[in-house]
Amino acid sequence: MATGRTGQAADQSRGEASSRPVNLQGDSPELVAFALLRYLAQLEQARSRETGVIFDRDWMLDAYADCLDAVKGNRVPSEGGEASAAGAKGRGKAR
Average pLDDT over the chain, rounded to an integer: 74
Phi-psi group of 54: left, alpha or beta (phi > 0 → left; psi -120 to 50 → alpha; rest → beta): beta
Q: Is the pLDDT of residue 90 over 60?
A: no
- The domain segmentation of the chain, as residue ranges, is 27-89
Model confidence pLDDT, tens digit, residues 33-77: 999 999 999 999 999 889 898 889 999 999 999 999 999 999 888
Bigger pLDDT: 71 vs 22? 71
pLDDT attached to residue 91: 45
Q: Are 35 and 28 in contact (CB under 8 A)?
A: no
pTM of the predicted protein model: 0.60
**Amino acid identity, residue 72?**
K
Buried/exposed 32-67: b ≥16 CB within 10 Å, e otherwise? bbbbbbeebbeebeeeeeeeebeeeeebeebbbebb
